[in-house]
Amino acid sequence: MDYRQEPHGLFFMIDNKSFYASVESVTRGLNPLKSVIVVMSEADNTGSGLVLAASPMAKKLFGISNVSRQYEVPDDPRILVVPPRMNHYIQMNLAVNRIFRQFVADADCFPYSIDESILDMTHSWRLFGETPEAVARTIQLRIRRELGLYTTVGIGENPVQAKLALDLQAKHDHELIGRLTYETFPEKIWPITNLKKVWSIGHRTAAHLQRLGIHSIGDLAKINPYELHQEMGIMGDQLFALAWGIDRSQLHDLRPVKEKSWSNSQVLPRNYSVQREIELVIWEIGQQVTSRMRHHRQQAACVSLSVGFAWDGKSGDGRSGMNHTRRINPTDNAQTIIATLLALFREHWEGQLVRNIGVGLSRLSASQQLQLSLFQDPQRQIKNDQFDRVIDELRDRFGKTAVIPASSLMPGGTMVRRAALVGGHNGGNSFD
């Protein structure tokens, strides 16, 4: 393979080791690598409780993994269980990224997730050390000293190499640093046979590759790319590039989103079977999404509803849920949108138990003046429109629960309890 034409930069992919659990350890004066701590969400819809993060020691001693259930965690007095504080983690993530920005220009720091960032060190690494590894060490020590957190660093000549170095090498390295280059890539990555461990390969893709007779990354690299394209389409091209450690993405030219849309979904605290209750939640989510859209002065011409069935309530034909979409005249009026959602629901629902509800609004356009319909009382239409805006303003000024529809207090309503959550989990104490 001729790599001369490929981009040769220097990228760091940095991740915080067991981020939530480490942050909780530090605030309690514990060492993140030694404490046995489990962050457990007990939000309504997590059932008995869901492990959001476990410290490295908790993973090692008790085999607890993230997304374990409460009942899978042993009832052992050595384990310390703490509730999540999502707002605090967001603050810590910002603090970590502030430190990163002392090593790269602002434009070269790309937050990837709540605990991972990509740093394009191509132009600045020489300022901070002799070798990339030494620079990585310096960053690790800075973060440890200032925030008390341990970080893992993957180093590569492009973003995908950095990500793989992080996932496959650094996490098992004593120094928590891993490095891949075009030269070392075949030696380090090709022998991997557990394809699912490699970034971007999920269990379905892995099974697909197995069916094609591809049992290691090396096999993937040596396959005819044209055949792979024929079989898997553009994903095949991407996997082939991955197997050779090639990534031509230019992080600086952000791709504009093709078409933006607004959506919200939630897992219900229990299986819902009563139509009135399900419709109440659809109504609540519809309100929430429409309100978000109105904040961006947009209106939607397409409404979609997705309903996930309870695990034991799958419909007779084995479907695990349903997705339906309908085009409407562009509007930002909650009543109209919700009426469409309810119509979709009533047409297609056949009494299955429901556990998951999502609402999406797409085909957006800038909302202009109200377009009056010929078939309705104009005064009524104007009133409806103003009503929505007043509610939005009240919520902006006094909080999400300042005004709520009385129906949200009925059995099945989730709005009031969810208002305090961040990303579906406890945000932490307010006024802190």
Partner 1 sequence: MGGIALIDCEQEAKLIGSRLQDYFTPQWHCQYRIDVVNNQYGSEFNFFLDIKRQNHRERSIPLHSLKTTDLTVLERVINGVRQQTELTLNFIDFGHVRWPESQRWIR
Query: Closest CB to partner 1 among 23 and 228?
Result: 23
Residue 39 lies near partner 1 (rule: CB under 8 A):
no
CB 146 to partner 1: min, Å: 7
Among 57, 73, 139, 280, binds partner 1 (CB under 8 A): 73
Q: Which of 31, 60, 63, 76 binds partner 1 (CB under 8 A)?
A: 76
**Which one of residues 33, 61, 82, 192 is an interface residue with partner 1 (CB under 8 A)?**
82
> Which two structure tokens, joined as six digits, stand for 181?
């280059």
Residues 91 to 150 in contact with partner 1, rule: CB under 8 A = 146-148
Phi first, then psi, for residue 12 (nearest 5°) are -110, 130
Residue 58 within binding range of partner 1, rule CB under 8 A: no
Helices H / strands E in the chain, number of each: 14, 14
220 Cβ contact list (under 8 Å, min separation 6): 195, 209, 214, 239, 240, 242, 243
Q: Would you state the structure tokens that stand for residue 331, as one six-digit string?
A: 């509007």
Name the minimum Å distance from CB 390 to partner 1: 33
Q: Which are the catalytic amino acids? A: 116
Q: How far is the CB of 62 from partner 1 (least distance, A)?
A: 10
* Segment lying near partner 1 (by CB under 8 A), choices 77-85, 125-133, 246-254, 300-308: 77-85
317 touches partner 1 (CB under 8 A): no
CB of residue 411 to partner 1, shortest distance in Å: 25
Q: Name the token pair of 48.
A: 């008995």
Residue 81 binding partner 1, by CB under 8 A:
yes
CB closer to partner 1 out of 149 and 214: 149
Instruction: Tell me the three state secondary structure of residue 409.
Output: helix
- Between residue 318 and residue 337, which ones bind partner 1 under the rule CB under 8 A? none
Q: Is residue 422 close enough to count as binding partner 1 by CB under 8 A?
A: no
Q: 216 to each of 3, 53, 126, 431, how far by Cα in Å?
A: 22, 30, 36, 52
Q: Is 351 in the site for partner 1 (CB under 8 A)?
A: no
Question: What is the smallest separation between the CB atom of 98 and partner 1, expressed in angstroms?
Answer: 14
How far is it between the farthest Cα atoms of the chain?
75
Q: Which of 29, 213, 316, 351 binds partner 1 (CB under 8 A)?
A: 29
Q: Which of 83, 218, 225, 427 binds partner 1 (CB under 8 A)?
A: 83
* CB contact set of 22 (below 8 Å; sequence gap of 6+): 16, 32, 55, 148, 149, 150
Question: What is the smallest separation between the CB atom of 26 and partner 1, expressed in angstroms?
Answer: 6
Q: Cα–chain-centroid distance for residue 250?
A: 22
Q: What SS3 state is found at 12?
A: strand
* Residues contacting partner 1: total by CB under 8 A: 23
The smaller minimum CB distance to partner 1, of residues 347 and 432, is found at 432
CA distances from 277 to 309, 321, 349, 403 (A): 15, 18, 13, 20
Distance, CA of 334 to CA of 405 (rounded, Å) = 13
Burial of 392 (0-12, 13-18, 19+ CB in 10 A): middle
State which residue, 143 or 322, has the beta carbon closest to partner 1: 143
Interface residues with partner 1 (CB under 8 A)?
26-29, 38, 73, 75-83, 85, 146-148, 428-429, 431-432
